Structure 1
Amino acid sequence: MNLVHTYLVSHTPGKVSGDFGRWITVGNCLHKTTVLADTTCLFTPLALPLDYSHYISLPTGMLSLACCTLYGIFWHFDPCCKYLVEYDTYRLSRLPLRTLTSSSRVVLVLKDDLHRKRRHNAIALAALVYYVKKIYELCAV
């Protein structure tokens, strides 16, 4: 871990470190949920018979759309989305955390997320195209 790219937010009276940690964790959870739901939406028709696949792919597509919308509105342009909360005890043990007087602390690690955002957008676009196509087919019948 490069210490230049690691930022430490210590506990303050306003519980800023916990708020940052929760905000980043929720954003990352929304991102991962979107990617998993998109992947499920796209690959369910390959794994199940076409007559039954829309019972799984359409709800996961709707979940993905909801999570992607929330992520896009609240986290996509937020500078906090470039950080991850560090939980790895080995990496945390290598940092000079002993100098802090507070026992409550959050370690934020700056990550390059360009490839992650490209992959996220490509999967979301493919799932959206499939979702719209499937809705059109179901409504046309």
Structure 2
Amino acid sequence: MLSYEIINQEDTAIIREVCENDNSQEIFEQELDNALEAGYKYIIIEPTQLADETVRWISVGNFLSQTAISSGVLSVGIAYFWQSKPFIYCPLVLTSFVCTGLYMVSWQFDPCCKYQVHKDPRLKSLQKEDNTPPLPVVIERGSDTNRKIIHTTITAVSTAYCIWKFYEFCK
């Protein structure tokens, strides 16, 4: 059994991999949902399949947010310097708009979007022998308000600016 002395036990939920029946995956998912709703600072996920799905879900949300920000900023830059190239900045602003929309619809209200994969090098000390199951995934709760404000603001400003530049180009 792993020892989790590094992480404060009061703020931590541990989803243990205990396979007792055929519904164990559903039980693990329910435990994770309960931990997410409870708002623990750290959640340690031992079941490999659930950990992989959780990391993937968090990664996709991060990708959408980062894509919205980068494509929005890039579209404004291109629209500013090359307003005669709407075939470049229009798809970029559309990408930013779609990514922000997907994030707002699919991730904004999901309690998992408030978590990030914890990357503390001290957790490597928890590594077990080669013949044992893989190291569990640790996710850490943080504020996602700034990220939401930033990507929404950048998308709104870039959309308005690019529409204005496109309108000037078409006149």
The aligned residue for residue 49 of structure 1 is 82
* Runs of 5+ consecutive residues of structure 1 not aligned to the other structure: none
The aligned residue for residue 24 of structure 2 is none
Distance 1:37 1:108, change over 3 A: same
The aligned residue for residue 124 of structure 2 is 93
Q: Take 1:136 and 1:26, find their aligned partners in 2: how far apart are those partners? A: 34
Matched, 1:132 2:168: no
Q: Give the secondary structure class of the aligned counterpart of 1:36.
A: helix
Task: Within 5 Å, give how 1:74-89 maps onto structure 2.
Answer: 74-86=106-118, 88=119
Quote the offset at 1:113 in angstroms: 1.8
Matched, 1:112 2:143: yes
Quote the offset at 1:80 in angstroms: 0.7
Quote the offset at 1:64 in angstroms: 0.9
More relative contact order, 1 or 2 (CA 8 Å, 6+ apart): 1
Q: Take 1:132 and 1:27, find their aligned partners in 2: how far apart are those partners? A: 27
Moved more, 103-112 or 15-24: 103-112
Q: How many pairs were matched up?
A: 132
How does the TM-score come out when normalised to structure 1?
A: 0.78
Q: Give the secondary structure class of the aligned counterpart of 1:112.
A: coil
Please tell me the residue identity of whatever aligns with 1:25: S
The aligned residue for residue 45 of structure 2 is 9
Larger radius of gyration: 2
Match of 1:35 among 58, 63, 69: 69
Q: For the Cα contact (< 8 Å) 1:84–1:108, is it kept in 2?
A: yes
* Runs of 5+ consecutive residues of structure 2 not aligned to the other structure: 1-5, 12-40
Please tell me the residue identity of whatever aligns with 2:146: H
Q: Take 1:105 and 1:123, find their aligned partners in 2: how far apart are those partners? A: 36
